[in-house]
Chain A
Amino acid sequence: MLRYLRLLGQWALDWIGALGRATLVWFWSMAGVPQRDDLKLLVKQVYQIGVLSLIIIILSAFSIGAVLALQGYTQLARVGAEESVGLGVALVLLRELGPVVTGLLFAGRAGSAITAEIALMKATDQLSSMEMMGVDPLHRIAAPRLWAGMISMPLLTLIFNAVAIGGAALVGVDWLGVDQGGFWGGMQDGVEWWEDIGKGMIKTVLFAMVISWIAVFQGYDSTPTPEGMSIATTKTVVYSSVAVLALDFMLTLVMYGEFK
């Protein structure tokens, strides 16, 4: 019994220690005056993190939109409300699936890449050599990746939503024959800027911050061995995915919380 208590205590202390180090990484990355090369570094990272994630986002979005339209149509047609499929798909995407699925894909594609890259730089002394040259690696390496994540993911979510709605329209309107006016008109009438699009974007910005933070910290805090890199990369994907899902539940509760 005592042994388990001791292990629990040790785990709690390790966790608090890691949280403290993660907070310092965030603070020192964000602190400081922007420098001449910062924009160039940021653009490079937006390309690495954002542009190179486009293919997986577009393919997944199209597939999810098409499936949602198929499922929605099947259920709604029973009650003769198949024209509402456009509105249903849009609401599900804008409020929930867009930010959440983009977050999960982003964690798997970009988050893991960020962690692996930083962990490898640490294992090969590149971060140490930067420090010894008087260059702060948190400013040079961590900060551009954090900002690029926070810029790229909301844009990827917008693209995800647009492509998924396009996929739903292709299946619903062009294939299953839902009336085009009803499909788009229902969406136009039912979707609200703030309630649906605005709040969905707030979610995605928060997800982006959390995923980028986890990814950068796990790389920076990794053990500089091949096994350490592997563990850090896995942790990024697992922690980010769990964080996105848990945060989504809490945000939904706070934003749309009139559940009785």
Chain B
Amino acid sequence: MTDNLIEIEGLRFSRGDRIIFDGLDLAVPRGAITALMGPSGTGKTTLLRIIGGQIRPDSGRVVVNGHDVPSLSRGELFELRKDMGMLFQSSALFTDLSVFENVAFPLRVHTDLPDEMIRDLVLMKLNAVGLRGARDLMPSQLSGGMSRRVALARTIALDPKFIMYDEPFTGQDPIAMGVLVSLIRGLNESLAMTSLVVSHDIHETASIADQLYIISDGRVIGEGTPDMLRDHPSTMVRQFMLGSPDGPVPFHYPADNFLDDVLGDA
């Protein structure tokens, strides 16, 4: 067994004429927090869905815990996902279930545990994210930050080996963001998990990530620790790490010459 939980080699994927990944290579070491960053629209969420087997790539190897994901059958995929968790940007709580039932859902579906034990486990998970007192609330009664914490409690309900976080900090106030940062770091250590975080929030992500990948134009353009990337020789990587508005990643979406466009025929 390798030290990498996820290994991606030569990944190619396109949507229509648009190439999303063009020979992407990436490895996620076991027990570490790996962050995936890059300009909007580079396919970071798509990559998470490819790792989870929700999207099949055009070619390339995607190995998760020793299993080649694209070649797995439907049944094998569902089996593999029991060891995975994914925190969605939208939280994706089931709106017809209470907070308690949302967290209990994977336990009820995948285990034969008695109700008393499920209750204890749910309360433990909710306690870990600080929302034990919100167990009876419905998702519509939660703030954005609370929703994401409930979704995190649900994600760790079955103690997965590996969690993917899709933009966990987006839209959070500074306090909620701080709570999430410490939760992700704390859970990764206390539950001996492996984490892959997709985020735009450089400061927060860099503070918890053991290694970062920056992808652009379908490839990895920079990898290493946050400090290494800040001094990276690539101007594109530095532009991203420093958050400069213009540079190799242009401010303008590709278009015809502005004057021609404005003065030309409609």
Contact = CB atoms under 8 A, between A and B. Distances in A.
Interface of A: 28, 37, 124-126, 128-129, 131-136, 140
B88 A128 contact: yes
A132 B81 contact: yes
A125 B88 contact: yes
B95 A124 contact: yes
Given A125-B90, A135-B78, 11 more contacts: A28-B74, A124-B90, A126-B92, A126-B94, A128-B49, A129-B86, A133-B110, A134-B80, A134-B109, A135-B106, A136-B78
B181 to A, nearest CB: 22
Nearest to B80: A134
B52 interface: yes
Interface residues of B, number: 27
A37 B108 contact: yes
A135 B82 CA distance: 9
Contacts of B81: 131-134
29 contacts: A37-B109, A124-B92, A124-B95, A125-B90, A125-B92, A128-B49, A128-B86, A128-B92, A129-B86, A129-B88, A129-B92, A129-B151, A131-B52, A131-B54, A132-B52, A132-B54, A132-B81, A132-B84, A133-B81, A133-B85, A133-B105, A133-B109, A134-B79, A134-B80, A134-B109, A135-B78, A135-B109, A136-B74, A136-B78
Interface of B: 49, 52, 54, 74, 78-82, 84-86, 88-90, 92-95, 105-106, 108-110, 151, 154, 158
A125 B147 CA distance: 14
Contacts of B82: 133-134
A132 B109 contact: no
B80 to A, nearest CB: 8
A132 B90 contact: no
A143 B82 CA distance: 21
A153 to B, nearest CB: 23
B185 to A, nearest CB: 22
Nearest to A124: B90
A32 B49 CA distance: 24
A224 B49 CA distance: 16
Contacts of B74: 28, 136
Contacts of A135: 78, 106, 109-110
A87 to B, nearest CB: 47
Which of A124, A133, A136 counts the most chain B CB atoms within 10 A? A133
B203 to A, nearest CB: 26
A157 B33 CA distance: 58
A66 B95 CA distance: 42
Nearest to A140: B109
A173 to B, nearest CB: 46
Nearest to A125: B92
Nearest to A131: B54
Contacts of B158: 133
A133 to B, nearest CB: 5
Given A133-B81, A134-B81, A135-B78, A126 B95 contact: yes
B88 A134 contact: no
Which of A124, A132, A140 counts the most chain B CB atoms within 10 A? A132
A132 B110 contact: no
